[in-house]
Amino acid sequence: MNPARPSLAQILALYEQPFMDLVYRAQGVHRESFSPNQIQCSTLLSIKTGGCPEDCGYCAQSVHHQARLAVTPLLPLEEVLAAARQAKAAGAQRFCMGAAWRSPHPKDLERVAEMVRAVKELGMETCVTLGMLAPGQAELLRAAGLDYYNHNLDTSPEFYGEVIHTRDFQDRLDTLAAVRNAGIKVCSGGILGMGESRRDRARLLETLLHLPEAPESIPINALVPIAGTPLAQAEPIDDIEFIRTIAVTRILFPHSYVRLAAGREQMSDALQALAFLAGANSIFLGDRLLTTANAGLDRDAQLFAKLGLVSA
């Protein structure tokens, strides 16, 4: 099997390996490129919340849903910097800023670029997620010093239309191309537990594999059902299937950070330990992600101590 570009059938064959064999193989691949006991830590801040015109079925920030989320404007620079300083003090190496836009308005993007420059001056890596980018916008962010742009594919091209109707799958690929062409590192992954099949999960990974370059960071999110959204009653993904996806991702992307992202608050310490064993080596620190609860600093400190993990 060509490890760089396996077929969908070969990816599904990885999924079908006996669980112990799959995790053992993933841990071996992980150790070839990363320290097995180091975890890259980021913090995510919502710098503009709610009022989004997109209809992503999992998201509380959509104007199409009834999640009753308070809408807030773009945060002032000093408030963002205060959060970044706090994140750095807590051990985060990367500060991620998210805004609920379909795509940023030029005047808002200038303010975000200012935030990027200021956070860089603190000595942190920077990441933003702002929706789709128009020509020239990625270059503006790169000139400000942006390190990473997050734009998740979410799921397979075939299942995508079951979850989102206000933009096409190709729109997401076009934004990733713009980001990469501007010289910014790519952060892109998916969400598990939205009703997708194993084939959809494999197709998501296949699509990421066929990007011109592999994403440097791959978030694997477990859906957090939110009241008032179309996926509020979605059946949670099976724990073992979730770990299988982490392991397959690690095998397919040996040099990428695989982030155990949304859903950690609901995960037991044992499940998170299995995820790290299967090759996850990145998390978000803090009590909240964009609009959902996160595991929290105290719990993460206790988990790291239990497992002998350290911040990378």
- What digits encode the pLDDT tens for the residues 235-294? 999 999 999 999 999 999 999 999 999 888 889 999 999 999 999 999 988 765 555 556
Per-residue pLDDT of 143-162, as tens digits, reads: 999 999 999 999 999 999 99
Work out the burial of residue 5: count CB atoms within 10 Å of its CB; fewer than 13 is exposed, 13-18 middle, 19 or more buried: exposed
Q: What share of the chain is helix, strand, coil (3-state, %, to 5)?
A: 40, 15, 45
24 or 226, greater pLDDT:
24
pLDDT of residue 198: 98
Q: Tell me the catalytic residues.
A: 52, 56, 59, 96, 127, 187, 259
Which one-letter DSSP state was computed for residue 311?
Answer: E
* Terminal Cα distance for the chain, rounded: 32
pLDDT given at position 62: 79
Of 132 and 290, the structure prediction assigns the larger pLDDT to 132
Return the pLDDT at 236.
Answer: 93
At residue 2 the predicted structure's pLDDT band, cuts being 50, 70 and 90, is very low
Paired tokens of 178:
């713009």
d(CA 7, CA 53) in angstroms, rounded, equals: 36
- The pLDDT of residue 144 is 97
Distance CA 24, CA 240 (A): 14
Percent of the chain's residues with pLDDT above 90: 76
> Residues 56-66: pLDDT tens digits?
888 878 778 87
How far is the C-alpha of 243 from the C-alpha of 277, rounded, in Å? Answer: 9
Question: Could you tell me the CA-to-CA distances from 47 to 70, 76, 84, 173, 246 in Å, in that order?
Answer: 13, 8, 12, 24, 29
The CA distance from 201 to 213, in Å, is 19
pLDDT value of position 171: 94
Residues 91 and 83 sit within 8 Å (Cβ to Cβ): no
Look up the pTM and report it.
0.92
Tell the residue number behind the tokens 């397979």, with chain if given.
Answer: 156
Each residue's pLDDT tens digit, 182-240: 999 999 999 999 999 999 999 999 999 999 999 999 999 999 988 888 888 899 999 99
* DSSP H helices in the chain: 8-15, 19-33, 77-89, 106-121, 137-143, 160-163, 169-181, 198-209, 239-252, 269-277, 297-307
CATH topology of domain 41-311: TIM Barrel (3.20.20)
Percentage of the chain surpassing pLDDT 70? 95
The CA dihedral of 189, 133, 129, 50, to the nearest 10 degrees, is -110
pLDDT for 100: 87
Residue tagged 């998916």 (tokens): 190
> Taking Cα atoms as reference points, which of 74, 81, 77 lies closest to residue 122?
81
What are the domain boundaries of the chain?
41-311
* 295 vs 181 pLDDT, higher one: 181
pLDDT at 80: 95
Distance CA 175, CA 169 (A): 10
Q: What is the mean pLDDT of residues 69-93?
A: 91
Mean pLDDT over the full length of the chain: 92
Query: Which helix or strand (DSSP H or E) is residue 219 part of?
Result: strand 217-222
